[in-house]
A = this chain, B = another copy of it.
């Protein structure tokens, strides 16, 4: 099966969670918008293709299946790529954790765009400063403390009983948050030993390491979800 991933070509964004799963599993996939431009997504987003229209990227095409929503794409790919433990209970837990990752990602995004994704950052800087302060003080420790506890209650090394797409996503979130909020994350780090150890282990997985060293891995940047604006880092 050759998978087709559709996501904006210039950022890691939400597509990166799917990309990491495909890369870690060594799956055969095409990153369509990077190869053919963002306009390759249009027929799907405009509803000109058969099937359920995606509301937004990322979406994945696999044969005749076209699937949107990051957490759902991963839930679907997980068993196919060997990236979720066996059993209905483990798969539900994976989905629950991934949806909580999605909530954290949305809130991290909103720190720089609290008023509207359609306005420039420059037009909402004051609001962003207040939003980011609350995020750093309250939501960031709450979310990451939650995931740290999830790791502690399992085998200490994985979110589930074994390596999964959730671990890959936690790696991405920890990396993105360190990029966006280096000072806040340095302060939190002593309280999050398992999460940082997990991120380090994921980065060392051969396929992930090869991917991170390749030109396929874009750098974090100020068009993506995790943006480094020093004034938002306290």
**Interface residues as binary, A144-171 with B (CB distance below 8 Å gives 1, 0 otherwise):** 0010011001000000000000000000
Question: Are A72 and B89 within 8 A (Cβ)?
Answer: no
In A77-110, which residues have CB < 8 Å from any B CB?
A: 89, 92-93, 95-97, 99-100, 103, 106, 110
Q: Does B92 lie within 8 Å of A116, measured CB to CB?
A: no
Contact A95 B115 (CB under 8 A): no
Is A119 among interface residues, defined by CB-CB distance under 8 A?
yes
Q: In whole Å, how far is A1's beta carbon from the nearest beta carbon of chain B?
A: 16
With contacts A119-B134, A149-B47 taken as known, whether A52 is within 8 angstroms of B114 at the C-beta atoms is: no
Closest to A134 in B: B116
Residue A209 CB within 8 A of the other chain: no
In the complex, the answer to whether B95 meets A116 with C-beta atoms within 8 Å is no
Residues of A128-149 contacting chain B, CB below 8 A: 130-131, 134-135, 138-139, 143, 146, 149
A34 within 8 A of B: no
- Interface of chain A, helix or strand or loop or mixed? helix
Q: Which residue of B lies closest to A124 (CB)?
A: B130
Enumerate 29 A-B pairs (CB-CB under 8 Å) in ascending A order: A47-B149, A52-B93, A52-B96, A52-B97, A53-B146, A53-B149, A53-B150, A53-B153, A54-B96, A55-B100, A55-B143, A67-B92, A68-B100, A69-B96, A69-B99, A69-B100, A72-B96, A75-B95, A106-B106, A110-B110, A110-B114, A114-B115, A114-B127, A115-B130, A115-B134, A116-B131, A116-B134, A118-B138, A124-B130
CB within 8 Å of B: which residues of A?
47, 52-55, 65, 67-69, 71-72, 75-76, 89, 92-93, 95-97, 99-100, 103, 106, 110, 114-116, 118-119, 124, 127, 130-131, 134-135, 138-139, 143, 146, 149-150, 153
